Amino acid sequence: MLNALKCITPLITDKRFSSSSAERPIPGNSVLRHLTSKIKSTGPISVAEYMREVLTNPVTGYYVQNDMLGPDGDFITSPEISQIFGELLGIWCLSEWMGAGKPSHLQLVEFGPGRGSLISDVLRVFSQLSGALGGATVSVHLVEVSPKLSQIQAQCLSGDQSRVSASEDEPVYRQGTTAAGLPISWYRNLDDVPRGFSVYLAHEFFDALPIHKFQRTEKGWREVMVDVDPEEPDKLRFVIVPAPTLASTQLIQSDEKRQHVEVCPEGGVIVQRLANRIAGDGGAALIADYGHDGTKTDTFRGFKGHKLHDVLASPGSADLTADVDFSYLRKMAGAMVACMGPVSQRSFLKNMGIDTRLQVLLRNCADPSTRAQLIHGYDMLTNPAKMGERFQFFTMLNHIRLTGPEPKQPELGAKMAPVPRKAPAPLPVAGFSELGLS
């Protein structure tokens, strides 16, 4: 009953893809052996533990081992489809920096940068519009669990200029300089990224974080776990555990109406930490992923070679993913920050001016195949039947961004009542059609 698509797309030929994953190892068997022996000795494991082991185990993890993006990989993402996507997100970052009063230093932070295409397109916009930055300095910070992908990102962003830390325990495990001379650093965790005014980007990151699954039963909520199939000992199966677990008693909202729920506590913790940073240091986060606003139920699925793949079959050889529940992220962000969205990718990109950008690129391009590729990319990103509606954009902002700074208090001892200074109206938040505090 696994439903829905991650994003099954027709395979396109794009010069962005250069590497082949044809020879990549398929560690399915060793991962399966590890999981079955663990389950046999300590009992069924949560879906979250299963996902964590399969995706980010430091030795065998799917993300740790593979370059899974592109036609030769398992799935394709918007920044890999069209340069316009990253360019518009670059404009968004600049616009949020301006809306915050142009602080003197801007940290660009990206979670799960994949092949580095999105941040590379963002940085090209920063270079082209460097005049707008005035004297402000910019640094780049990437939160990436995969050594293999960090190497590909480093190649894309800084050529051979980056260096790996001497010790594996260093919080900054790789450092370098971008082509434009900006300092760039790699971390495994948000906590290691320096504090300060930051714009955070997360595209197709939250869907990769481990989820717990719960089923409503006559006896109340019960957790769905992963067990060894007693009939076929080298196969895994889902079971509903008979007694409540810590997760089933802690993670379900009291007003939950659905029959089946997926909860991503790790995503909730990251959002809380982001909210805390944005409230304390200023800045904004833009989270884009396929997801829903608290309505969907069973969305856990696997992808291999651009096709749906049984999530429990040959673990480690396919991507595992679940739709992002934005209503849960909003709850976890709490009142510390203002939240907007989710809005559909189509609305967001249209509000950001994707139509105008496409026209400009087409006007300057005579090559028929590049023109066809630009139009194809535009259609993939915005068509409601493709990525336009399934992908959603959500933002977290410092409250001051929407309300404007507090009016100045009259100085003590001032003889005359000061004329109240009218603060300029805050800039609208680009991409989100309506301004509103949640």
Rounded Cα distance between 107 and 43, Å, is 44
Smallest distance from ligand SAH to CB 81, Å: 9
**Taking CB under 6 A as the rule, does residue 145 contact ligand SAH?**
yes
CB 44 within 8 A of CB 226: yes
Smallest distance from ligand SAH to CB 264, Å: 11
**Taking CB under 6 A as the rule, does residue 326 contact ligand SAH?**
no
CB burial readout 141-169, b (16+ within 10 A) else e: bbbbbbbbbbbbbbebbbeeebebeeeee
* Dihedral over Cα of 364, 368, 373, 378: its sign: positive
Secondary structure (DSSP) of 293-341: SS------EEEETTEEE-TTSSTTSSEEE--EEHHHHHHHHGGGSEEEE
Q: Judged by CB under 6 A, which of 74, 121, 144, 325 binds ligand SAH?
A: 144
**Taking CB under 6 A as the rule, does residue 146 contact ligand SAH?**
yes
Neighbours of 391 (CB within 10 A): 24
For residue 76 the two structure tokens come to 């394709």
Q: Judged by CB under 6 A, which of 36, 57, 60, 77 binds ligand SAH?
A: 77
Residue closer to ligand SAH (CB basis): 151 or 245: 151
For residue 423 the two structure tokens come to 């603060």
| Nearest CA among 50, 96, 57 for reference residue 400 | 96
**Taking CB under 6 A as the rule, does residue 386 contact ligand SAH?**
no
CB 73 within 8 A of CB 63: no
| The one segment of 8-16, 170-178, 197-205, 276-284 that binds ligand SAH by CB under 6 A | 197-205
CB 45 within 8 A of CB 39: yes
Cα 292 to its chain centre, rounded Å, is: 14
Point out the residue whose Cβ comes nearest to ligand SAH: 112
Smallest distance from ligand SAH to CB 141, Å: 12
Rounded Cα distance between 112 and 206, Å, is 9
Q: Write the interaction track for ligand SAH spanning residues 104-143; mark x where CB under 6 A is met and - where it is not.
A: --------xxx---x------------------------x
CB 387 within 8 A of CB 289: no
| The one segment of 145-153, 304-312, 372-380, 424-432 that binds ligand SAH by CB under 6 A | 145-153
Residue closer to ligand SAH (CB basis): 203 or 213: 203
**Taking CB under 6 A as the rule, does residue 393 contact ligand SAH?**
no
**Taking CB under 6 A as the rule, does residue 27 contact ligand SAH?**
no
Q: Judged by CB under 6 A, which of 6, 141, 203, 296 binds ligand SAH?
A: 203
Rounded Cα distance between 19 and 141, Å, is 24
Binding residues among 216-235 for ligand SAH as defined by CB under 6 A: none
| Nearest CA among 398, 327, 417 for reference residue 99 | 398
Q: Judged by CB under 6 A, which of 63, 97, 197, 326 binds ligand SAH?
A: 63
State the number of binding residues for ligand SAH (CB under 6 A).
19
Smallest distance from ligand SAH to CB 171, Å: 13
Instruction: Tell me the helices (H) and strands (E) count for the chain, helix number first.
Output: 14, 18
Q: Judged by CB under 6 A, which of 36, 56, 82, 321 binds ligand SAH?
A: 56
Smallest distance from ligand SAH to CB 426, Å: 29
CB 193 within 8 A of CB 187: yes
**Taking CB under 6 A as the rule, does residue 61 contact ligand SAH?**
no
Residues of this chain that bind ligand SAH (CB under 6 A): 56, 63, 69, 77, 79-80, 112-114, 118, 143-146, 149, 203-205, 208
